Chains A and B, each alone.
Chain A
Amino acid sequence: SQQGEEDPQALSIQEGENATMNCSYKTSINNLQWYRQNSGRGLVHLILIRSNEREKHSGRLRVTLDTSKKSSSLLITASRAADTASYFCAPSSGSRLTFGEGTQLTVNP
């Protein structure tokens, strides 16, 4: 399957620091999406990067995609306590999105 695998499983940082999460996948993709899930809530779409794009920004988020290495990274700059959540990548090859186990980010005030 096209499941993304996030790394690290857990990340704890101080408010104001940057947080970087990585995602690896196995086969070719059309796009890759990142989602956030706050505890007890549904997933919220953060950003979609297409296979012909290398980098994309949205506010404090920066996503990179390296199709040769089959990997993506999500950078959150100047983190806030409200960024505490699980982050999932979802590579897509035109069919279903397949989510990995996610990275649990904790931002300490």
Chain B
Amino acid sequence: EAGVAQSPRYKIIEKRQSVAFWCNPISGHATLYWYQQILGQGPKLLIQFQNNGVVDDSQLPKDRFSAERLKGVDSTLKIQPAKLEDSAVYLCASSPRIAGGGETQYFGPGTRLLVL
């Protein structure tokens, strides 16, 4: 089966600009996650969707970050405006069952963002 797809793979922007990332999860997976991974650290969960509803966005900086999962399939994560500290890899993951069960997560290759 096809894995989690993400685009773009790399993005360089100037601070205060906007940027959007796209994720297409594995077909049929109900739960979708966005993580931020700063260099040298582990991934940090930003937001978790179950179908098209938000399950957990407690660590999402809502003043500048937004995410949606229309129709419960693919998802976009937006940063507006970007700050230097947003430079990181943004990982998308999906899992087949409903959220809350600690299921195996399947990760995409990530989008590497550099904010200058």
A39 to B106, alpha carbons, bound, how many Å?
A: 17
Residue A30, interface by CB 8 Å: yes
Please give the number of chain B residues whose Cβ is less than 8 angstroms from any Cβ of chain A in the complex. Answer: 22
| B43 interface neighbour in A40, A43, A92, A94, Cβ under 8 Å | A43
Is A31's CB within 8 Å of the partner chain B?
yes
Contact residues in A for B91 (Cβ distance below 8 Å): 42-43
Residue of B nearest to A104 (CB): B40
Q: Which of A30, A31, A42, A101 interacts with B108 by CB under 8 Å?
A: A42
Q: A42-B91, A96-B48, A99-B42 are in contact. Are A33 and B110 (CB under 8 A)?
A: no
A74 to chain B, nearest CB (A): 15
Whether A44 pairs with B101 at a CB distance below 8 angstroms is: no
Q: Are A94 and B101 in contact (CB under 8 A)?
A: yes
Q: Does A48 contact B (CB under 8 A)?
A: yes
| A37 CB → nearest B CB, Å | 8
Sample 11 A-B pairs with CB under 8 A, ordered by A number. A40-B112, A42-B4, A42-B108, A43-B93, A45-B104, A88-B42, A94-B101, A95-B56, A96-B48, A99-B42, A102-B42
Chain B interface residues toward A at CB < 8 A: 4, 40-45, 48, 56, 91, 93, 100-102, 104-110, 112
Q: Give me 7 other A-B pairs in contact (C-beta within 8 A), A88-B42, A95-B102, A97-B45 excluded.
A: A42-B93, A42-B108, A43-B93, A43-B105, A44-B107, A95-B100, A97-B105
